[in-house]
Structure 1
Amino acid sequence: MEDIEDLVVENGGAPPGFRLPLNAVGLKPKRNKNKPNLNNSMLPLIAPSIPGTQTIYLKTFGCSHNQSDSEYMAGQLSAFGYALSDNPAEADLWLINTCTVKSPSQSAMDTLIKKCRSAKMALVVAGCVPQGSRDLKELEGVSVVGVQQIDRVVEVVEETLKGHEVRLLNRKALPALDIPKVRKNQLVEILPINVGCLGSCTYCKTKHARGHLGSYTVDSLVGRVKSVIADGVKEIWLSSEDTGAYGRDIGVNLPTLLNAIVAVLPPDGSIMLRIGMTNPPFILEHLKEIANVLRNPCVYSFLHVPVQSGSDTVLTAMNREYTINEFRIVINTLTDLVPGIQFATDIICGFPGETDEDFAQTVSLIQEYKFPQVHISQFYPRPGTPAARMKKVPSAVVKKRSRELTSVFEAFTPYNGMEGRVERIWITEIATDGIHLVGHTKGYVQVLVIGPESMLGTSAIVKITSVRRWSIFGEVIETPNQSKEEIASSKKICSQKLCYSCSNADEACACSREAVPGSCGPESRGQIIVEESSVPINDKSEYPTGRILIGWLLRRRQNHVHKRMENGIAAGFKKKQERSQRSMREWGVIDRALLGGMLVTTLTIVTLLVLLVYWTPSSKS
């Protein structure tokens, strides 16, 4: 079926556009074998048979645009009454929002679909994979909803739960921006400004799914910004497949949009704007205007500009439509015009035809600029793309180049010199250790601080106290809503919380400023999180010192809790056994003396008995 209306009409229902009641489709609701069989008069009272009463598990792959789509779908489902859960086991239907950029993402999707089918669970697949690859074998018999049909996800879910297969993939007008939305982070609005792109990269599958450039109007985007500000949002991320190409299909450009949005932001910098990923070709003519926006106190001085390769030969084969010299112009101009600007970039290792010389040019480019964020990917041929038909570089060579470039990148120390500096940060989330708050500087450098949750959504003046390759830690000096006494009090409470978290009373307290051998230490990393999904590079050799050392141990314990539960009985038995053996080994002096005394007493009694037996007969004679 290509549309729900077609499905309903085939079942003898109403004309297109008319939503039928539940029983109009003519399917019998599934009965739970574990529940008593009820008569038909009670069926309307059974929650699982009523649309909007079921639980939905929503899984998202890919970029921030996909995340925004998922938030919109979650908002509509929630508004219609469906419950949302992070636990797939308790859901009645799985909704998977897919990404087609890289093979690993699609492989993860395939695995999830297999699990869902094995569990005999209702399934809806959304996103770029079904939109760009409609005939995938993995999608046979599965309901799908396309990227421009997310505003109809409730209908798709409703029909799928009835046992129907629904496919909504036809392109139409862009979904409205004011439909209900459930944000993953209530303080962050991911705002899609356009869909699709103007490029035709030979390796990319995204355009197959998202299509040609389609931009929202400036007025509609500014209206959305005003609306989310009223909702309490403190950070706005502009998102798209290529932010720099915005408006070229409707006669405007990115600087026009940026200036219009900045004009409605509070001048005190309480709400920040982050500009999304942009390819070099479409911002070359607007560099001075964009630099002026990036200098604004309400805009993060950060830009994600993918280069993909340091070789013009490879860029031509990729059809990237710019040269390395033009990429340099973008980076150098913005660096000169925007103090403290930070960049992120992307590299594809092992593109078909890439020679050792081409790769050496890529390494040289990365070494020259020492970008704090480099997303390194191995080339994966995407079916249906021109690059998939090109002669491939051997896999071993691709992996070797990826490892080499990763080693080069890991050698950088991009945040050296920050220690001791005083910075303003904007705090929007809690760190994974559950103890620190995550903030970002004007250059979008991530800083971890200790403070109460009431600081979420605020800015603070902090002093950078510790800088490592992956982690930057700060101490709060001042916040707009807290006095110095309140800040000191909250620090004391958080420090006590860290100390009390240590389970071993013999350990040195983790609140001390110096690292203690054997103490807990976090694995937190100060990596900037940008639009493309990437695998963080571990750096376990450097653990920050001071009061935050307990975080690492807490996370390690959480990571192993499920394993302990699964092996609880065996582990318990083994623990008892070890405890018994240990207690034998750890007898003290008194224990040994008591045992020796018992042995001497026993031997004395035996000796006396023997003497008594032999002495008695002789005395009688």
Structure 2
Amino acid sequence: MIRVAFYTLGCKLNQAETESLADQFKEAGYQLVAPDDVADIYIANTCTVTHVADRKSRHRLRLARRRNPRAFIIASGCYAQRAPQELAPIADLVVDNEEKEHLLEIVRGLSLQTSFSIMASPLLRHCEPFASCHSEGLVEALSKAKGRRPKNLTQDRLREAISPLKSTTRVRSLIKIQDGCRSPCAYCIVPRVRAYEYSLSASQIVDEVKLKVARGYKEVVLTGTKIGCYEDAVLSDSEGSSIDLRGLIERILCDTDIRRLHLSSLQPQEISAEFLSLWQDGILSRSSESFASCHSEGLAEALSKAKGRRPKNLAQGKLREGTGEGPRLCRHLHLALQSGSDGVLQRMKRCYSLDDYRRAIDLIRGAIPGVAITTDVMVGFPGESDEEFEQSYHFCQQAGFANIHVFPFSPRPGTLAARMPQQIDERVKKERKQRMLELAQNCRHSFCEQFLGQVMPVLWEKETSLGSGIHSGLTDNYIRVFTPSYEPLTNKIVSVKLVRFHNQGMWGELVEILS
């Protein structure tokens, strides 16, 4: 059996795509192994959002070569899209984002046209099919070698081939619902490597969630480049409008048994009272009568019976908190900030002001008690003065974030910011990053403090390396919790009382097993 190892760098979208590819390879009969194990094929899903991500991507490819000099190494993802010529010397095949979904067919094609021992030779990257990949497109080049064009592996075809495999070790799955961005910020390379903006169909996504539930997953994370732009124009709601992100969430909560639904990053301009009403009334109980009727009658019809009328929108009346299990829709929103200075935001070409951001977080906190709001903050953007950094620091201090992801500006080739004057010295970036990281730690502590002594359900992920029987998991508002238990907890929802602080979250005392 051919051994395949995947390694993913970067965002949740990359992780979701790798997860999907890994499922395809497994169902096709390949043996999946860890990226640090010896494999016959290594596939690196690369990232190029910073120069550090570029360096890590190249390092992983070289590491794979050292681990097995005869392995066949494939570089894919955003770095492969931006600069394939930089990866060609260290990979046997470079596959851009547009062809990534065809990776299984590509590998099968290579296996068919050569013996595996030849396929695993590093010389293959110099052969004629590979040399023509960049000019003709990978799929076309390989189809010439095979005498046919590979079939398009649509998600629908893949789903038909995948049987529901139960697993008690699977906890959280990332599902891609949208891709692409047509609104480039001054610093961002993503629109250059994921330019085509599209959404997957709501029916396809719901089917994917059902598949994950059948395989034992307790939580699904909806991810994409800009999930707030999600729109299924083919499927309409009861009023004839296209299905947006809110409508998609409603369908998933009604039509599937997923215990937890979590959203990846949103923009402040995408937050509205109507959107937040999904959380305001709690989450539909999995055992409630109205929930039981959702699958057979449809959400709108079930709710109209309960209320004596057809609801104006699909959320009204259906959202009830499940007893003991906690909310199904996670109380965590990641709201990108980038800078707490209006001047810097304008130069970044962000589509909101600090007033817009304040309104968004006020709306969120008013609608979702106990919500965790996390964010990203960039330091050292070109021209960021000491005063503007202090403004950003102060804004973050006052905003009450549950956590802050801090990163220094990294000039990306071809972006507007890379050509801007007043580039900030690396020493200054490092100092500002350190101050923001210290603030982030204080924010985490302050957020956790308000839940000290409370009993909260936790979805347990794994046993940690902290010691024998120490388990780690997340509350629905994404507090990292640790607890000792000699009983297996992985992929169970277990209530704990939060009793003291941990440098990464909180310690909990087990109360009861809920599922």
* TM-score between both structures, scaled by the size of structure 1: 0.63
Q: Is 2:456 the partner of 1:423?
A: yes
Within 5 A, what are the aligned runs for 1:477-556? 477-480=511-514
| Counterpart position of 1:260 | 251
Partner residue of 2:76 out of 126, 135, 139: 126
* Matching of residue 110 in structure 1 with residue 98 in structure 2: no
User: What residue number does 2:209 align with?
Assistant: 225
2:297 paired residue number: none
378-387 or 283-292, which moves further after superposition? 283-292
1:408 is matched with which residue? 439
Residues 338 and 348 from structure 1, CA distance in 2 versus in 1: closer, same or farther, beyond 3 angstroms? same
Could you tell me which residue of structure 1 aligns to residue 155 of structure 2?
176
| 1:190–1:432 Cα change, 3 Å | farther
Aligned to 2:225: 241
Deviation at 1:214, TM superposition (A): 0.7
Structure 2 match to 1:77: 25
Amino acid paired to 1:176 = Q
SS class of match (1:136): helix
Alignment of 1:330 with 2:357, yes or no, is no
What is the identity, as a one-letter code, of the residue corresponding to 1:408?
L
> Residues 478 and 234 of structure 1: is their aligned pair in 2 closer, same or farther, counting only changes over 3 Å?
same
Equivalent residue for 1:271, pick from 259, 262, 270: 259
Conserved 8 A contact 1:239-1:275: yes
Rounded Cα–Cα distance in structure 1 between residues aligned with 2:270 and 2:339: 18
User: Offset of 1:170 from its aligned partner?
Assistant: 7.6
Tell which structure's C-alpha radius of gyration is larger: 1
Q: Aligned match of 2:415 in 377, 381, 385?
A: 385
Q: CA deviation at 1:120?
A: 5.2
Distance between the aligned counterparts of 2:152 and 2:350, measured in 1? Answer: 28
Tell me, yes or no, if the aligned pair for 1:424 and 1:442 is still in contact at 8 Å.
yes
Question: Residues of 2 paired with 1:138 and 1:390: CA distance?
Answer: 30
Q: Which has the higher contact order (CA 8 A, sep 6+)?
A: 2
- CA deviation vs aligned residue, 1:329-369 (integer Å, no higher than 9, x gap): 11111101111000110000000111112111110111102
Matched, 1:339 2:369: yes
Of residues 299-308 and 282-291 in structure 1, the stretch that sits farther from structure 2 once superposed is 282-291
- C-alpha separation in 1, matches of 2:375 and 2:168: 25
Which residue of 2 is the match for residue 446 of structure 1?
480
Compared CA separation, residues 186 and 141, structure 1 to 2 (3 A) = closer
Per the TM alignment, residue 206 of structure 1 is displaced from its structure 2 partner at its CA by 1.6
Counterpart amino acid of residue 439 in structure 1: G
Aligned partner of residue 316 in structure 1, secondary structure: helix
Identity of aligned residues (%): 26
Normalising to structure 2: TM-score of the pair? 0.75
Q: 1:411 aligns to what SS in structure 2?
A: helix
Tell me the alpha carbon deviations over residues 214-264 of structure 1, each in whole angstroms, 9 at most, x when there is no partner.
101111111222222222221111111122111177643111111111112
Mapping 1:557-572, distance limit 5 Å: none
Q: CA deviation at 1:173?
A: 8.6
Aligned to 2:341, which of 311, 315, 319? 311
Task: Kindly state the Cα deviation for residue 184 of structure 1 after the two structures are TM-superposed.
Answer: 12
Structure 2 gaps of 5+ residues are 141-150, 235-241, 284-318, 320-326
User: 1: CA distance between counterparts of 2:196 and 2:233?
Assistant: 9
Corresponding residue of 1:464: 498
Query: Which residue is equivalent to 1:145?
Result: 95
Q: Tell whether 2:328 aligns with 1:298.
A: yes
Give the aligned partner of residue 281 of structure 1: 269
In proportion to residue count, which structure has more strand? Answer: 2
> 214-223 or 136-145, which moves further after superposition?
136-145
Distance 1:272 1:435, change over 3 A: same
C-alpha deviation, 1:140, in angstroms: 7.3
Residue 56 of structure 1: CA displacement? 2.1
Does structure 1 retain, via aligned residues, the 8 Å contact 2:202–2:248?
Answer: yes
Aligned residues: 426
| 1:164-203 matches, cutoff 5 A | 164-165=124-125, 166=130, 167=133, 175-176=154-155, 178-179=158-159, 186-203=170-187
C-alpha distance after superposition, 1:391-420 (max 9, x if no partner): 211212111211222223333422114332
Contact between 2:43 and 2:73, CA under 8 Å: does it hold in 1?
A: yes
